[in-house]
Amino acid sequence: MRSNRELAETFDLLADLLRLKDAAAYRFEIGAYQRVAEALRELPRDVRALAAEGRLQQIDGVGKAIAAKIAEWLESGTFRLLEELKAEIPQGLVQVLRVEGVGPKRAMLFHQQLGITSIPELEAAARAGKLRALPGMGAKSEQKILESIEALARRTTRARADIALHAAERILRPLASLPNVLRAEIAGSLRRGRATIGDIDLLIAAHEPVPIMDAFANHPDVVRVLAQGETKSSVELVGGLHCDLRVVPPERFGTALSYFTGSQAHNIRLRELALERGLSLNEWAFTATDGSGREILCATEEEVYAQLGLPYIPPELREDRGEIEAAQTGNLPQLIEIGDIRADLHMHTTWSDGRLSVREMAWQARERGLEYIVITDHSQSLGVANGLSVERLWAQREEIQRVQADFGDSLRIYHGVELEIRADGTLDYPDEVLAALDVVIASLHTALRQDRATITARLLNAIHNPHVDIIGHPRGQLIPDREPADLDMDAVFAAALATDTALEINANPQRLDLDSAHARQALKLGIKLAINTDAHSAADFAALPFGVRTARRAWASPEQIINTWSRQRFEEWISV
């Protein structure tokens, strides 16, 4: 059973093989295949379903030729161009490209001169001193390649957003306090709210960059300086993440922040709009194309977009998925913000696998300004999480009632459960128990590798139960360790819409499930969403911004998220 992720990896491989063959000659094809790979990773529908409907060309970047390749891959697991390139170029060289300082030309040089086809072979040649004698190489270049191989062994391919954000903030905080720093921002995919991050991008506005670069290179979290210059430096951080810092004059900060936030596809559209106005646009400025060399500098991103006749576009939307057109027609959404969240509908206490009591969780929620919460400890089948028997569930209700009496009108506490959807598709409590609860969240935790038909049927059974209000972390992913379950999301969406069942964006950075692509598809269909922290401790409430960013990437407005509603409206919904 072939998946979107596997097909994306195939197009990544195709792009890398073309880079090795001739990066300059195939630059347009390489860009096209990379874009398609990214679109496939974010695709909210199964590519197989789109193929069956004859709608492959609706995928971003897919034209007739690429659609034919996808169809051939779905049929046989490969396609002709890929097999031709694999016969011509050793696939191990694709991994060699991951070594910093080794581009396509060097990789092919090493292969042609020394027969190198893998990273271990490259390392062995470097340690034997065989690289230094090659054209364009030397002892220092050889040593740098060895250091890069060692760094690669320590590095993960992508980091979770929370890990990357923590690292970025630790680096940026002391730099922002330096006397000549005027502005300091996180850029890149981290600013756009992606769930995983490749490299960290930092941007600072200042007139004197050298002291800032020195402080950056000497930060205690830096284990290796990869490059250090006056306007850009790159380092490797503890844990293997790479971090780039750029320092620009304040009058150029807006164009730089826009450019280095990305995405690449969004930036290309901005450059096209600039050309239509007789301007070129790069990271530093707009420049007139009439040969005069006249520059237009932008200190803020708002100025960049205004120069193009557009309103400001929030970073989370900058993926070239319709945001330019929406901005041009005045139809950008009013995106949800942290301050819109009035409730958390999914949390755990010491009754199951949480660390705080009902009273302590309620106090933590009230301190954060929430108006109502739902206590949703695990149901009985999830023994590993100390799930509640029916008898313990009713004992918990009595405690919730006592705590509610003490909190009065300052916080409403609802009694719910995170209901286990068992491996055979049945639910963990009988209907008469579910009917007595205020809120029921049903979730998949076990047997997540079942075939598509089986696991989809399990989830549909829960959605169609009249007492189930919300589906928790619907696809069951754990970033980066567990791929999502192979669900038929079209069927899931149809059932959720028909039954008015809400789907959760679980804000825990290990989950972020629904992801932004599926959340956007759900919202387009009119399905209600909830953003919940799934908190097991006080610290877990801090996950909320990650869920909100995911919703913003899905173009969500406050009205579409049920925990922005007033308590009265929420009660009316759960009582239906």
Is the pLDDT at 1 greater than 60? The verdict is no
Is the distance from CB of 444 to CB of 433 less than 8 angstroms? no
Rounded Cα–Cα distance for residues 549 and 565 (Å): 19
> Domain tally for the chain?
4
Pick the residue with more confidence: 32 or 44?
32
**What is the pLDDT averaged over residues 413-439?**
97
As a residue count, the chain comes to 576
Alpha-carbon distance 247 to 253, whole Å?
A: 9
> Nearest-CA neighbor of 244 among 100, 386, 363?
100
Say what the pLDDT of residue 240 is.
77
Per DSSP, helices labelled H in 155-289 are 161-176, 188-191, 209-217, 253-261, 264-276
pLDDT at residue 171, rounded to an integer: 96
pLDDT at 2 over 70: no
Asked if 547 contacts 520 with a C-beta cutoff of 8 angstroms, the reply is no
pLDDT of residue 342: 98
> Is 333 domain-assigned?
no
In the listed set 154, 174, 199, which residue is the last one of a domain according to the structure?
154
Residue 233: its pLDDT value, please? 96
pLDDT of 541 over the 90 cut: yes
At residue 304, does pLDDT exceed 60? yes
pLDDT (average), residues 84-88: 92
User: 496 is written with which tokens?
Assistant: 């959720």
Return phi, psi of residue 113, to 5°. -90, -35
Lowest-pLDDT range of 144-148, 244-248, 320-324, 489-493 = 144-148
Mean pLDDT over 94-123 rounds to 90
* Residue 289 pLDDT grade (very low, low, confident, very high; cuts 50, 70, 90): very high
Q: Which domain holds residue 312?
A: 253-328
Q: What is the pLDDT of residue 209?
A: 96
Mean pLDDT, the chain, whole residue set: 94
**pLDDT top residue among 556 and 241:** 556
236 and 126 part of one domain: no
pTM for this prediction: 0.84
- Cα three-residue angle 428-434-439, rounded to 5 degrees: 110
Do 243 and 257 belong to one domain? no
Strand (E) or helix (H) holding 17: helix 4-22
Question: In the predicted model, is pLDDT for residue 168 greater than 60?
Answer: yes
Pair (409, 549) in one structural domain: yes
> Residue 501: which residues within 8 A CB-CB, separation 6 or more?
463, 468, 469, 470, 471, 495
Q: Identify the residue with better confidence: 439 or 102.
A: 439
Q: Are residues 427 and 343 in the same domain?
A: yes
- Note whether 220 and 299 are same-domain residues: no
Q: Is the pLDDT of residue 156 over 60?
A: no
Report whether 197 contacts 189 (CB < 8 A).
yes
Q: Quick check: 394 and 429 in contact, CB under 8 A?
A: no
Q: How far apart are the first and last CA of the chain?
A: 39
Model pLDDT, residue 149: 86
Q: How many angstroms separate the CA atoms of 209 and 231, rounded? A: 7
Model confidence band, residue 297 (pLDDT cutoffs 50, 70, 90)? very high
How far apart, in whole angstroms, are the C-alpha atoms of residue 337 and residue 213? Answer: 34
Instruction: Give dist(CA 410, CA 407) in Å, integer.
Output: 6
- 395: confidence class by pLDDT, cuts 50, 70, 90: very high
Of 248, 272, 296, the residue at which a domain comes to its end is: 248
The confidence score (pLDDT) of residue 323 equals 98
Let me know whether 380 and 521 are in one domain: yes
Q: What is the pLDDT of residue 467?
A: 98
475: left (phi over 0), alpha (psi -120 to 50) or beta: alpha
Count of CB atoms within 10 A of residue 391's CB? Answer: 9
Whole-number pLDDT of residue 515: 96
pLDDT of residue 155: 60
Query: Percent of the chain, pLDDT > 70?
Result: 99
Per-residue pLDDT, 482: 83
Q: Residue 109: in which H helix or E strand, if any?
A: helix 104-114
> Which two tokens mark 529?
């969403």
Give the CB-side neighbour count of residue 314, counting CA atoms within 13 A.
Answer: 17
Q: Give the model's confidence band at 431: pLDDT under 50 very low, under 70 low, under 90 confident, else very high.
A: very high
Asked whether 285 and 293 are in contact (CB, 8 A), the reply is no
Q: What is the pLDDT of residue 44?
A: 79
- Has residue 560 been placed in a domain? yes
Q: Where are the alpha helices (DSSP H) in 308-374?
A: 323-328, 358-367
> What does the alpha-carbon distance between residue 135 and residue 140 come to, in Å, rounded to a whole number?
13
Rounded to the nearest 10°, the torsion over CA 345, 347, 351, 354 is: 180
User: 531 and 392 in one domain?
Assistant: yes
Give the residue from 121, 154, 187 where a domain finishes: 154
Whether 566 is covered by a domain: the verdict is yes
Q: Answer whether residue 239 shows pLDDT above 70.
A: yes
State how far the Cα of 325 lies from the Cα of 322, in Å rounded to an integer.
Answer: 5
- Rounded distance between C-alpha atoms, residue 123 and residue 95, angstroms: 12
SS3 559: helix
Band of pLDDT at residue 144, cut at 50, 70 and 90? confident
Residue predicted with more confidence, 60 or 213: 213
Neighbouring C-beta atoms of residue 575, cutoff 10 Å:
7
> Above 80 in pLDDT, residue 499?
yes
Share above pLDDT 90 across residues of the chain, in percent, rounded to a whole number:
81
Q: 465 lies in a domain?
A: yes
Residues 357 and 472 reside in one and the same domain: yes
pLDDT at 45: 82
Q: Is residue 322 located within the same domain as residue 343?
A: no
- Do residues 121 and 171 both lie within one domain? no
The CATH number of residue 291's host domain is 3.30.210.10
pLDDT digits (tens, 9 = 90+) for 313-365: 999 999 999 999 999 999 999 999 999 999 999 999 999 999 999 999 999 99
Task: Determine, yes or no, domain membership for 211.
Answer: yes
Q: Given a cut of 90, is residue 247 above it in pLDDT?
A: yes
pLDDT value at position 6?
Answer: 86
Q: Which residues contact 74 (CB under 8 A, 6 or more apart)?
A: 2, 7, 47, 48, 51
pLDDT band of residue 265 (cuts 50, 70, 90) is very high
Find the CATH number of the domain harbouring 205.
3.30.460.10
| pLDDT confidence bin for 23, thresholds 50/70/90 | confident
Number of Cβ within a 10 Å radius of residue 232: 14
Instruction: Please indicate, yes or no, if residue 534 is contained in any of the structural domains.
Output: yes
pLDDT for position 332? 98
What number is the average pLDDT over the span 542-551? 98
194 and 306 co-located in one domain: no
**Residue 85 pairs with which residues in a beta bridge?**
none
Instruction: Judge whether 44 lies within some domain.
Output: yes
Q: Which of 20, 4, 19 is nearest to 60 (CA)?
A: 4
**Domain of residue 19, CATH code:** 1.10.150.20
Which pair of tokens denotes residue 473?
A: 């972390």
**Same domain, yes or no: 55 and 140:** yes
Domain-located, residue 311: yes
402 CB-contact burial (10 Å; exposed 0-12 / middle 13-18 / buried 19+): exposed
List alpha helices for 177-235, DSSP H.
Answer: 188-191, 209-217
Tokens read off for 149? 């191989």
Predicted pLDDT at 60: 86
